Amino acid sequence: MDVLPTDPAVALRARRRIAWRLLPFLFLLYIIAFLDRMNVGAAALQMPGDLGFNDRVVGLGAGMFFIGYVVLEIPGALIAERWSARRWIARIMISWGMITALLAFIHTAREFYLVRFLVGAAEAGFFPAVIVYVSHWFRYQDRAKAIAVFYAANPLSYLIGSPLAGLLLGITWLGLRGWRWLFILEGIPAVVFGVITLFYLTDWPRTASWLRPDERDWINDELEREKQAKKKVRSYTIWQALSQRDVILLTLSYFCATTGGYGIAFWLPTILKRLSGQSDLRVSLLAALPYLAGFVTQQWNSWHSDKSYERRWHAAVPIFLCGLILLLAVTFGSNIMLAVVLFTLVGASYFAFHPCFWAVPTAFLSESAAAASIGLINSLGNLGGFAGPLIMGYLVNRTHSFTAGLLYLVGNLCLSGILMLLVGAGGGSSWQQRGVPVI
C-alpha cells in the first residue's frame, strides 16, 4: 500500500533530504558573497597607505557598494520569484566575482568608488533571491532554522576571511601588494560557483528529480496549503505590500541594524589595530572572535524562535543588547583585552538578530508581494551599509577618535530594536487580528 503524503515518516524524510541538499550549498555561496563584500575592510589596513586615501575616502568607498546594491534589489527579487532563482543567483555570482577582481587594479579614489559601486550593483538581488528560494522549499515553521543555516555564512565568512585576509596581506607577487591579491583570489570562487549553481540547484520541488514522489507531493501540498492560508487572511498586490505598515517598519529597523553592523564590521580591524599596534595577521585573528560568537548565538536564537513560534522579541532583544554592549565598549574599551571581550559580545548579539528578522516578511506575505517586500527591505535597509562606514569615517577624520562614530552606531542599534517591537503590534496591522501565528 502506498504511503500517504501526510505520513510523518515521509514528512521527516523530505525535510531532511531538502535541508541536506540545499542548505550546505547556499551556505557556501553566502560565504563567498560575504568574503567579496567585506574584504575591503581588511584591505583598508594597507590600501590607504599605498594609494594615499584618508579615512573619509575609505569610508565612502566602502559604502558605495550599497548605493549600487539598492539599484537592482527589488527587480532582482521579482526576477527570482517570477523567472528562475537558480539562474539569477548564478548570474549574480559570475558578474560580481569578475568585478571584485577589478578592485585589485584601482589607483585613484574615483576608480575605487566606481568599482565598489559596480560590485554592489552586480550583487544586488542575491540575498532576496535566496530568501525567496528558501520560501519555495521550506515551510514557515522550518524557515527560521533554514535561514539561520544559510545566514551562518555571515559570521563564519568573517571567521574564515579575517585570518585568510591577514595571510594574503603579507604576500607580494608579481609586483602586486597583498591587498591587491586579496581582491583577485577572493573574486575567482564566485565565478566558479556561479557556473556550478546552474547545474546544482533546482528551482521548484515539483521538478526535483532527487526527491521521491511522495516527498515531492508532501512539500508541494504543505507550501500550497500555506499559500492558500495567507490568501484567506488577505492577498496583497506588490504595491500594497510595499506601502504596508509592517513592511515600512521592517525596512527602517533593518536600515538601523545594518548601519550599526556594517559600521562595526568595516572599522573593527582598524580600531583593534590602533588600540593594540599588533601585526595585520594578529589583528585579523582578534577581529574574527565576534563572528565566532555570533555563529553560536545565531543558531540557538533561531532554533528557539522556531520552537516558540515567536519572531519579534527574538529579533528585538539581541539588537538592543548589541547597542547596549557597544555603549559599554565605547565607555570602557580603551584596554585592548576588554575591548576584544566587549566587541565579541557585540557580535554575539548582532548576528542573533538576522534569521528571526528574515522569517517575518514571508509570514504574512507570499509570492511576488513577499519577493518585492524582501527586495525593498534588503535594498533600502542595506543603505545602512553605506551610512555606517561613511559617517564613521567622517567622524573619525573630523574628531581623530572613534568615540563619536561608535555612539552614532549605538543609537542606530537601539532604535532598530524599538522599531522591531512595533512590527505587528497593535492597531489594524496586528498579526493576531489577521490570524497569522507569528508573534
Residue 3 confidence (pLDDT) above 60: no
pLDDT attached to residue 354: 84
Lowest mean pLDDT among 35-44, 88-97, 429-438: 429-438
**What pLDDT is attached to residue 430?**
40
Average pLDDT over residues 105-133: 85
**Amino acid type, 256:** C
| DSSP 8-state symbol, 212 | -
Residue 4 DSSP code: P
Report pLDDT digits (tens) over 130-188.
878 888 888 877 877 787 787 777 777 777 776 777 777 778 888 788 888 888 888 89
Classify residue 9 as exposed, middle or buried by CB count within 10 Å of its CB (0-12, 13-18, 19+). Answer: exposed
Please, is 11 exposed, middle or buried when counting C-beta atoms within 10 Å of its C-beta (0-12, 13-18, 19+)? middle
Per-residue confidence (pLDDT) for residue 288, from 0 to 100: 76
Given a cut of 70, whether residue 102 has pLDDT beyond it is yes
| CA angle, residues 123, 125, 130, in degrees to nearest 5 | 110
Residue bearing the bigger pLDDT, 391 or 427: 391
Cell of 173: 607577487
More confident residue, 166 or 199: 199
So what's the pLDDT on residue 256?
93
Q: pLDDT of 361-403, one tens digit each?
A: 766 665 566 666 777 787 778 788 778 877 887 888 788 778 8
Q: What pLDDT is attached to residue 356? A: 84
Res. 289: pLDDT tops 80: yes
Distance in angstroms (rounded) separating the CA atoms of residues 162 and 127: 22
pLDDT tens digits, one per residue of 248-279: 888 899 999 989 888 887 778 778 877 777 77
**Residue 176, SS3 per DSSP:** strand
Between residues 383 and 111, the one the model is more confident about: 111
Distance from chain centroid for Cα 358: 10
Q: Please tell me the predicted confidence (pLDDT) of residue 368.
A: 60
Query: What's the pTM value of the predicted model, to 2 decimals?
Result: 0.69
- List, for residues 297-352, the tens digit of each pLDDT value: 888 888 888 788 788 898 899 999 999 998 988 887 677 888 888 888 998 899 88
H and E: helices and strands count for the chain: 21, 0
Report the CATH superfamily, name and number, of domain 8-434: MFS general substrate transporter like domains (1.20.1250.20)
- Residue 46: exposure state from Cβ atoms within 10 A (0-12, 13-18, ≥19): middle
Q: What is the pLDDT of residue 77?
A: 67
Task: Give bridge partners of residue 176 from the DSSP assignment.
Answer: 173
pLDDT at 74 over 70: no
Q: How confident is the model at residue 427 (pLDDT cuts 50, 70, 90)?
A: very low
Cβ proximity of 319 and 350 under 8 Å: yes
CA distances in angstroms from 291 to 31, 71, 167, listed in the order given: 13, 29, 18
Q: From its phi and psi, is residue 52 left (phi > 0), alpha (psi between -120 and 50) or beta? A: left
- Reported residue count of the chain is 439
Angle 109-123/8-43 helices, nearest 10 degrees?
A: 170
> Where do the H-state alpha helices sit in 72-106?
73-79, 85-102
Residue 192 grid cell: 566558479
